[in-house]
Structure 1
């Protein structure tokens, strides 16, 4: 697995798996938890080591148990989770601390590789307080890297006033319906790694057809072309599937390079 180096020198896999429907009835995001993590088990067997979860997903504990049950050493995994932006989790310094400690307990680990703020916190004092607690957990060795999710350029600029540790990652939407190029360019300039959620989402039939045509040149499918485009421009991707064949397919991205011409076509989708 190829990696990208964060500003703090740690390495992050370029491809991982989301988990927001794992362990839930009918594989639905809002479904009741049923502790069925076969999809995560198969993803781990396929070779995924970047595992992305969140408090909002309600399945941290199941993700943690599945990783433990895999028998694979903890240090081989790159675990990401996220704290919600709501009062219940960020209402005070102590509440934030308890949320982070609960994540560590749920994931059955002494440290988390990457901890993100899941959605923008518009109140400046609350955002500053939350970020400073995250920084204290980095200082204590309980979190390796910290970052944000769905943050705008404006919010990231405002954070510069008080951050001792700048965000290492901004997890954002990026797909043919919203490449988010302006934000990605800004992030790269600031040495913040862009990470795409939903990288295979919101693709029209017309876009899929064009991607398929490109893929035929390389013996790849449209999804592999789309993911390759992102990682070729150093955007981390976290596709998610409950199908073992698609899980395997989404990892087969490192044996071809898109040409400049094909990249230009993809950029105009």
Structure 2
């Protein structure tokens, strides 16, 4: 698996799997939990090691059990989870600590590789105390890496005004319908690694262009799209319940797009 080094010196796979519909009825984000994590089992068996979950997905425990039951050594995985910005989780430092401890218990692990703030916390004091506790857990080696999700440039600057540990990752929306290139350029300049959620969202016109490019490489439009992102340094976490699609996503890393093709995709 191709990896990239973060600003704290640790390496993260360039491609992982999201899990926000895993373990739920009808593969529906809002569906009742049903304990069916066969899609995650399939992904792990195929070689996925970057696993992305969140408290708001309600399935941390199922994700943790599936990883544990795989029998694969813990150190081979890079597990990400996220703390919500809701008051019950961040109203004070003790609440944040309880939340982080619960994630560790749910995921059946002594440490979490990457813990993100799921969305911007508007209250300055609560943002500060949440980040300070995340830094505290880094100091205790219970969390290896901390970062954010959906933080704008202004949000990142607010955090930078007091953080003593720089966020290593900002997970944002990035796909042909909304590349957010200026945002991504800023993160590269600040040594914060962009990670794309929803990376496969496209229109029919996008898929036609990407499919035409893929013909020369014997690749699908989806593989071209994922390779464009990873080749320019963006981590991706596509999610699929279909083993064939999961395998195809992994195979997006075994070819290199030409500069001309990269430029053409830039214009989508």
Q: TM-score range by the shorter chain?
A: over 0.9
Counterpart CA distance in 2 for 1:68 and 1:194 is 28
CA deviation vs aligned residue, 1:206-232 (integer Å, no higher than 9, x gap)? 110010000001000000000000000
Question: What is the correspondence of 1:221-260 to structure 2 with a 5 Å cutoff?
Answer: 221-260=220-259
Equivalent residue for 1:37? 37
Equivalent residue for 2:213? 214
CA deviation vs aligned residue, 1:192-214 (integer Å, no higher than 9, x gap)? 0000001002x000110010000
Structure 1's unaligned 5+ residue stretches are none
Task: Give the secondary structure class of the aligned counterpart of 2:245.
Answer: helix
Q: CA deviation at 1:235?
A: 0.3
Q: CA RMSD in A?
A: 0.5
Counterpart CA distance in 2 for 1:169 and 1:131 is 14
Counterpart CA distance in 2 for 1:82 and 1:232 is 26
Counterpart CA distance in 2 for 1:115 and 1:256 is 31
Equivalent residue for 1:104? 104
The TM-score normalised by the length of structure 1 is 0.99
Equivalent residue for 1:91? 91
Equivalent residue for 1:194? 194
Counterpart CA distance in 2 for 1:255 and 1:61 is 33
Counterpart CA distance in 2 for 1:23 and 1:258 is 35
Question: What is the correspondence of 1:1-269 to structure 2 with a 5 Å cutoff?
Answer: 1-201=1-201, 203-269=202-268
The TM-score normalised by the length of structure 2 is 0.99
Q: CA deviation at 1:17?
A: 0.1
- Structure 1 runs (4+) greater than 3 angstroms displaced: none
Q: CA deviation at 1:260?
A: 1.1
Task: Give the secondary structure class of the aligned counterpart of 1:119.
Answer: coil
Counterpart CA distance in 1 for 2:143 and 2:255 is 34
Structure 2's unaligned 5+ residue stretches are none
Counterpart CA distance in 1 for 2:17 and 2:111 is 19
More divergent stretch after superposition (255-264 vs 11-20)? 255-264
When the two structures are aligned, how many residues end up with a matched partner? 268
Q: CA deviation at 1:87?
A: 0.3
